[in-house]
Homo-oligomer: A and B are copies of this chain.
């Protein structure tokens, strides 16, 4: 009975991990999340330079630090799964770096919208994929979702910016669409290179899977949630 609750470390997870493809998929997933956080730190630290005030700079630098703090537990888990954590993360450097290279913000506002869109999309994807994970891995992935005031800050600043200069809205709406397109492009490239991650979505030992239609519906949900988030900040053009 205790094993079925999923809260005992190493209990029910050992069943799932007896499937080497599942283990490989979880290592890939955690490595992607971990590199994503390091990459988010770099992006936010860079965007902090564009801040109009020292207080805004400090706020963005603090968000960067919060993202980075999530890397340590991911590393510990990768190590306990027998992976070299930073070597595993290296495999995702190209995809994330390409995304950031293609979406370098040209000003403070684009940086804010990028942080908002990127975090929202990552959170949605982690919630979607959590359903396919063993309890321990799921808990770890879900702890990376903690929003510590970042979104509220960004929403507040963007709304104030648009109120002060309504022409901002059109430009930032287009920017949001471009970010989403680039994120989907890079995600598809990463998934195409990662058989185990793709297999995870398709199902495995004791794991429910998704057929192609279900994967399609998942992407539709992610796109809809993105549109909702843009609407929340008045960028639903």
Is A49 in contact with chain B by the CB < 8 A criterion?
yes
A67-95 near B? 1/0 per residue, CB < 8 Å: 01101000000000000001001100100
Docked-complex contact B54 and A49, CB < 8 angstroms:
no
Partner of A68, one of B49, B55, B62: B62
Interface residues, chain A, with chain B CB atoms under 8 Å away: 35, 38, 41-42, 45-46, 48-49, 53-55, 57-58, 61-62, 64-65, 68-69, 71, 86, 89-90, 93
For A62, what are the chain B residues with a Cβ–Cβ distance below 8 Å? 68
Can you sample 26 A-B contacts with CB below 8 Å? A35-B54, A38-B54, A38-B57, A38-B58, A38-B61, A41-B45, A41-B61, A41-B65, A42-B45, A42-B61, A45-B45, A45-B46, A45-B61, A45-B64, A53-B86, A54-B89, A54-B90, A54-B93, A55-B86, A58-B68, A61-B68, A62-B68, A64-B65, A65-B65, A65-B68, A65-B69
Copies in the complex: 2
Name the distance in Å between A145's Cβ and chain B's nearest Cβ: 19
